[in-house]
A and B are shown apart, each in its own frame.
Chain A
Amino acid sequence: MEFELNPGNTAWLLTASSLVLLMTPGLAFFYGGMVRGKSVLNMMMMSFSAIGVVGIIWAVYGYGLAFGADTAGGFIGNPADALFLKLDDGEWWGAADTGVPALVFAGFQATFAIITVALISGAIADRVKFVTWLTFAVLWVTLVYTPVAHWVWGGGILAAGPIVDALSLPIDFAGGTVVHINAGAAGLALALVIGKRKGFGTEPMRPHNLPFVMLGAGLLWFGWFGFNAGSELAADGTAGRAWVNTLLATCVAMLAWMATEKLRDGSPTSLGAASGVVAGLVAITPAAGTVQTEGALVIGLVAGVLCALAVGLKFKFGFDDSLDVVGVHLVGGLVGTVLIGFFATNGEYGSFYFEGSLNGLFYGGGAIQLVTQVVAALIAVVYSFVLTYGIGLLLKVTLGWRVTEQEEVDGIDLAEHGETAYEANSTIAEVR
């Protein structure tokens, strides 16, 4: 196919990429506000460092692994296809048929890989060595993110082959399986490998700066319009559909989380509103371009209520998923991915037609798409959990994950970064 540049689509995708990149600093604030004041810098650094590590890996070989030609039976892409992003405009790279140059698409996808890694850090707050985290980021994006991205978006086993032939094409518009289920299952695995913070469940660990959390949620919401509407890879009506759904599902989820809190705890909280925003964004991600307005509203409602209930599970089961990566991203990702099986519409009112997929149960397509969605979600959960558990164990016996107990008590900011966030007025003994 002859490549023909479409400046409008290209301009939108460059803009959307910048929006998505802003989500990771936004996440740093969202997460940073939720931890105690003695570990806010480490929490924010885990997000910022993910930009550094993953950005480079993506350019050197990661993009090829995810989007290169099928190798190993559709398990992974061929990294040799895109080493150091030596790409020609005319090559087929996902967005070529909408007139977007390969390099622009590669940049857009880099921002997705970055935030997926950063999301995991919420499960392991306050207690891990920074070097081990950086090493984890390298291993995880290579061994877990790129295969799953390849399966779903790069032409791999969830885009073509026996599963698709037997059922139908799984729908993941912007990253429900690749990003959120993937990060959520990884967060659960790491929280189990690394263990609880000292004092988890007995000492108070309340968020130290809720305005940071609100600021972060706002930046995430803003950036998410690039994430979802950008995933159309074109500036058209379906991008508008994704944009509107990203607004509406999030509106409902925020209110639903607050209502759940009002009924259960007595007060609608700012932390609940911010969490509801993120839960709604997560859930609508896979469905953004493929459901209509009523679908988006229901997805937001279910995500807001279910995630608000799910964040209590860690206390019940005794795992320290510190900032609820499981309760928000795994549960929210599953809600969106599975509800597509009820609400998918192909090509109506601006929704996108995934060739090979079926309408959802409520739109005359029968139950096959629902089964397909469940199967795709389960594959992502199992693969991410098992691989991440293995990587976690490997790092545990080699580099070691935990800082010492005393360092954890004193605050990881001081131990790992040699600085503190809020003690600028404390006496400095000597200037050297």
Chain B
Amino acid sequence: MKLVTGIIQPHRLDDVKSALEAAGVRGMTVSEASGYGRQKGHTEVYRGAEYTVDLVPKVRIEVLVSDEDVTAVTDAIVGAAQTGKIGDGKVWVVSVDDVARVRTGEHGDAAL
């Protein structure tokens, strides 16, 4: 089992969700995040006082998948989130030892 985590531009979330549903993903966790990569932040000016805002809003999307679905899910996120501009985000995959479904107590792939 794998945990696929994507950090994406907030305005791509709807497309990414649709792409994941089309790829057969039945659940996900989405949270608001802030951060920066190569694009750094931007400057805001309030009554002449300049503030450098280096942490910009992002969305973090997390999906637990079986080993065979990893490539399809990763590609779905990348395909739907991509605009080609700096700041599009990143997707990474880590291995998961075990998963338990709280409602039934099932473990492993059955709990996905």
Q: Which residues of chain B are within 8 angstroms of A204 by Cβ–Cβ distance?
A: 51
| Residue in A204, A275, A308, A315 with the greatest tally of chain B CB atoms within 10 Å | A204
Tell me which residues from 76 to 131 in chain A have a Cβ below 8 Å from any Cβ of chain B: none
A379–B46 CA distance with the chains assembled, in angstroms: 33
Contact between chains at A269 and B46 (CB < 8 Å): yes
Q: Which residues of chain A are within 8 angstroms of B38 by Cβ–Cβ distance?
A: none
Please tell me if A265 contacts chain B, counting CB pairs below 8 Å. Answer: yes
Across the interface, B45 reaches (CB within 8 A) one of A267, A324, A327, namely A267
Across the interface, A324 reaches (CB within 8 A) one of B44, B47, B50, namely B47
A315–B49 CA distance with the chains assembled, in angstroms: 9
Q: Which residues of chain B are within 8 angstroms of A265 by Cβ–Cβ distance?
A: 45, 48, 50
Across the interface, A261 reaches (CB within 8 A) one of B44, B45, B51, namely B45
The chain B residue with its CB closest to the CB of A327 is B47
Q: Which residues of chain B are within 8 angstroms of A271 by Cβ–Cβ distance?
A: 46-47
Please tell me if A396 contacts chain B, counting CB pairs below 8 Å. Answer: no
A312–B48 CA distance with the chains assembled, in angstroms: 7
Q: Which residues of chain B are within 8 angstroms of A267 by Cβ–Cβ distance?
A: 45
Q: Which residues of chain A are within 8 angstroms of B46 by Cβ–Cβ distance?
A: 206-207, 269, 271
Please tell me if A162 contacts chain B, counting CB pairs below 8 Å. Answer: no
A266–B50 CA distance with the chains assembled, in angstroms: 11
Proximity bits, B22-50, A CB within 8 Å = 1, else 0: 00000000000000000000001111111
A327–B46 CA distance with the chains assembled, in angstroms: 14
Contact between chains at A206 and B51 (CB < 8 Å): yes
Please tell me if A264 contacts chain B, counting CB pairs below 8 Å. Answer: yes
The chain B residue with its CB closest to the CB of A267 is B45
A267–B50 CA distance with the chains assembled, in angstroms: 12
A264–B47 CA distance with the chains assembled, in angstroms: 11
Please tell me if A59 contacts chain B, counting CB pairs below 8 Å. Answer: no
Q: Which residues of chain A are within 8 angstroms of B45 by Cβ–Cβ distance?
A: 261, 265-267, 269
Instruction: Tell me the smallest distance from the CB of A242 to a CB of chain B, in Å.
Output: 28
The chain B residue with its CB closest to the CB of A309 is B48
Tell me which residues from 302 to 350 in chain A have a Cβ below 8 Å from any Cβ of chain B: 308, 311-312, 315, 324, 327
Instruction: Tell me the smallest distance from the CB of A34 to a CB of chain B, in Å.
Output: 8
Proximity bits, A238-279, B CB within 8 Å = 1, else 0: 000000000000000000000001001111010110010000
Instruction: Tell me the smallest distance from the CB of B80 to a CB of chain A, in Å.
Output: 30
Contact between chains at A311 and B48 (CB < 8 Å): yes
Chain B residues with a Cβ closer than 8 Å to the other chain, count: 8
The chain A residue with its CB closest to the CB of B52 is A204
Contact between chains at B48 and A308 (CB < 8 Å): yes
Proximity bits, B43-63, A CB within 8 Å = 1, else 0: 011111111000000000000
Contact between chains at B48 and A264 (CB < 8 Å): yes
Contact between chains at B51 and A311 (CB < 8 Å): no
Instruction: Tell me the smallest distance from the CB of A327 to a CB of chain B, in Å.
Output: 8
Across the interface, A275 reaches (CB within 8 A) one of B44, B47, B49, B51, namely B47
Instruction: Tell me the smallest distance from the CB of B21 to a CB of chain A, in Å.
Output: 28
A108–B49 CA distance with the chains assembled, in angstroms: 38
Q: Which residues of chain A are within 8 angstroms of B47 by Cβ–Cβ distance?
A: 271-272, 275, 308, 311-312, 324, 327
Instruction: Tell me the smallest distance from the CB of A257 to a CB of chain B, in Å.
Output: 9
Q: Which residues of chain B are within 8 angstroms of A266 by Cβ–Cβ distance?
A: 45
A266–B46 CA distance with the chains assembled, in angstroms: 12
Instruction: Tell me the smallest distance from the CB of B31 to a CB of chain A, in Å.
Output: 14
Contact between chains at B44 and A206 (CB < 8 Å): yes
A326–B45 CA distance with the chains assembled, in angstroms: 20
Instruction: Tell me the smallest distance from the CB of A385 to a CB of chain B, in Å.
Output: 23
A324–B48 CA distance with the chains assembled, in angstroms: 12
Instruction: Tell me the smallest distance from the CB of B44 to a CB of chain A, in Å.
Output: 7
A267–B48 CA distance with the chains assembled, in angstroms: 10
A272–B46 CA distance with the chains assembled, in angstroms: 8
The chain A residue with its CB closest to the CB of B49 is A315
Instruction: Tell me the smallest distance from the CB of B24 to a CB of chain A, in Å.
Output: 33
A312–B46 CA distance with the chains assembled, in angstroms: 10
Instruction: Tell me the smallest distance from the CB of B57 to a CB of chain A, in Å.
Output: 15
Instruction: Tell me the smallest distance from the CB of A107 to a CB of chain B, in Å.
Output: 35
A315–B51 CA distance with the chains assembled, in angstroms: 14
Instruction: Tell me the smallest distance from the CB of A147 to a CB of chain B, in Å.
Output: 32
Q: Which residues of chain A are within 8 angstroms of B48 by Cβ–Cβ distance?
A: 261, 264-265, 308, 311-312
Proximity bits, A285-310, B CB within 8 Å = 1, else 0: 00000000000000000000000100
A207–B44 CA distance with the chains assembled, in angstroms: 11
A324–B49 CA distance with the chains assembled, in angstroms: 12
The chain B residue with its CB closest to the CB of A264 is B48
Seed contacts A264-B48, A312-B47; 9 additional CB < 8 Å A-B pairs = A206-B46, A207-B46, A261-B45, A261-B48, A266-B45, A269-B46, A271-B46, A275-B47, A308-B47
Across chains A and B, which 7 residue pairs bring their CB atoms closest together, nearest first? A265-B45, A312-B48, A311-B47, A204-B51, A206-B46, A206-B51, A271-B46
15 contacts between A and B (CB under 8 A): A204-B51, A207-B46, A261-B48, A264-B48, A265-B45, A265-B48, A265-B50, A266-B45, A267-B45, A269-B45, A269-B46, A271-B46, A272-B47, A311-B47, A324-B47
